[in-house]
Amino acid sequence: MNQPTLTALIKERFDSLPRQARQVAAFVLDNPHEVAVLSMREQARLAEVPASTMTRFAKALGFDGYDAIRDVFKASLRSRGNEFGTRAQGLVELNQRIGEAALAMDLAHNATAQIQSLCTGETMATIVRAAKLLSSAREVFCLGLRGSFPVAFQFAHVSEYFARNVTLVDGAGESGIMKIMHQPSSRDAALICSMTPHSRRAMSIATHLEQAGVKLVVITDSASSPMARIATESIVVPNKGPSFFDTMLPAFLVAEILVALTAATSKISIKSQIADTEKKLWGAGEWWGMQADDAPALEPRAGAQALRGKRNKRGA
């Protein structure tokens, strides 16, 4: 039996099931990812039923036990492992049908629609609550691994213009890891970006922070994602489109709104902090050009000067 067939069976039998078994049925229908990856006891806790009810639910559907149901969802999850490859073929076929110009326009329209979908009262209220959590925190940890890393980096990078309590957790260089291992508390908050398929390491770090009492602000693609389940505030963003890869554009927008709100509501003088940061960056030579009208002329390298001297001598 595959997952669509099992889902249809659960819906068909739903009304005839006992009350607690209906709770399990609702959990399975609403949380297919969790059914595949969590233990039966953990799922029973989330469904708020005894573990024995999970077994009775499975037997009511004709299975020997709940693990057989989990196996169906596991198989479905594994079959989606090559989802990007399948979508890539769809992208090629779409381009062949409508052409490059129309495909580019389709991608742009899709991005516009996704951003517009965020402009609801409920989403904006969640973003405002999340910004308050971040702005009132003692320390703010920023976490995003693999494809989600740029979103966490952008939030941390812009925040550091005016905030001195932001730590970017960089999985590649392990920077920030030791700090969150030893110092997190209930006075801290974390900005986490994580999309399906979720990084196992990011989930492990997020769980550690949650258990330490850190308030988690999560940007994710599903209200039933494992990250959303442990979040204090979860902001769900769309990320599917015509291309084979999942777009991060809506997640970037949310991160930039969050950092703008934290700046706008900051209790410190952000004008002086940002001006001081800019001055130091100019002084350190981080940016090209000068604050004066004329940029300095580049000095030729010593090696290049010597080479030109030799050529001039040969020419003479």
Domain 3-80 is in which class? mainly alpha
Q: What is the structure's pLDDT at 97?
A: 79
Q: What is the structure's pLDDT at 251?
A: 94
Annotated domain spans of the chain: 3-80, 116-271
List C-alpha distances in Å: 302 to 280, 299, 305, 309.
Answer: 29, 9, 5, 11
Side-chain-side CA neighbours of 222 within 13 Å: the count stands at 14
Q: What is the structure's pLDDT at 219?
A: 96
CA distance 305 to 316: 17
Mean pLDDT of 253-259: 95
Closest CA to 19 of 46, 48, 62: 48
Tens digit of each residue's pLDDT (9 = 90 or more) over 176-208: 666 666 778 899 999 999 998 888 889 989 998
Split at pLDDT 50, 70, 90, the class of 172 is low
Percentage of the chain lying above the pLDDT 90 cut: 38
The CATH classification number of 116-271 equals: 3.40.50.10490
* Residue 175 tokens, joined: 């920077």
pLDDT at residue 53 above 70?
Answer: yes
Q: What is the structure's pLDDT at 133?
A: 95
Mean pLDDT of 51-69: 93
pLDDT at residue 110 above 50?
Answer: yes
CA distance 230 to 218: 9
The model's pTM is 0.66
Q: What is the structure's pLDDT at 224?
A: 73
pLDDT at residue 243 above 90?
Answer: no
Mean pLDDT across the chain: 83
Which spans in the chain are helix H? 3-13, 19-30, 32-37, 40-47, 51-60, 66-79, 83-98, 100-117, 121-135, 149-159, 177-182, 200-211, 226-229, 249-264, 270-283, 302-315
φ, ψ of residue 213 to 5 degrees: the values are 95, 5
Residue type, 282: W
Split at pLDDT 50, 70, 90, the class of 298 is very low
List C-alpha distances in Å: 170 to 22, 80, 93, 146, 173.
Answer: 43, 28, 37, 10, 6
Mean pLDDT of 281-295: 68
